[in-house]
Amino acid sequence: MHILIIIVVIVLIFFIPIPLSFHLYISKDKFYIKFYSLNLLSNEDGIIRNLINKKKLNKLEEKKTKKTIENNDDNDSSNKKVKSKEISLKKLYNNLIHNKFKPTLNFNSTTIYSLGDAANTAIAFGLLYNLNPLLLNIFSIIFKVKKYKNDFKPVFKDKILFELTLNSIITFNLAKIIYICFIILKSFNKNRRWISLYWDYYGW
């Protein structure tokens, strides 16, 4: 009975959908990126900004430490051969585009803009809407796009105006994330042998 419960819990952990909600707002005087209601980054505050500021405080000490280590290793580095692994963008693209287990994306965006001239604003309206098929194709490489709405609202005023509001929800599960990680690993030109064998064994 306990084993059955453990199996059910593991299955739930791997396959239960996890929705992630992101909000982006950009204007002339303000911007923010939020994860649910958590402020990740804004023009005044945010978790990312605070982390960057903390890293800057320790930057000088880290540079001094790195210089000391590099000076000590200069003599030994000439005798060492470093094997580099380069990712193949073509392989990555093909692997992602044929992935049957993509995360789900709900995308909703509204852009309000003015170029300061009515004629230029009207021309830009047509050009911007032509971006939608391109953006949809790009999103479709990684995600299964469930909803896509990207509106452009021109404002015919004699001033420059730009305001972007974006709301998106990415739904995935742990199994899909692990599978995407294997896809990325397989896209390297030089992989470890066990990764290739494991991938070929399961027909991935």
| Element spanning 130, H or E | none
The backbone torsions φ and ψ at residue 173, rounded to the nearest 5 degrees and listed phi first, read -135, 170
Q: Global pTM?
A: 0.70
pLDDT digits (tens, 9 = 90+) for 15-51: 888 999 999 999 988 999 999 989 999 988 889 888 8
Q: Angle between the 59-77 and 47-57 helix axes, to the nearest 10 degrees?
A: 60
pLDDT-based confidence at 81, cuts 50/70/90? very low
What is the per-residue pLDDT across 47-65, written as a single tens digit (0 to 9) for each? Answer: 988 888 787 777 766 776 6
Report pLDDT for 136: 94
pLDDT at 203 over 70: no
- Burial string for 145-178 (b: 16+ CB within 10 Å, else e) reads beebebebebeeeeeeeebeebbbebbbbeebee
What the block records as the tokens of 59 is 């930057």
In 36-159, the DSSP E strands lie at 38-42, 104-115, 144-154
Q: What is the mean pLDDT of residues 168-194?
A: 81
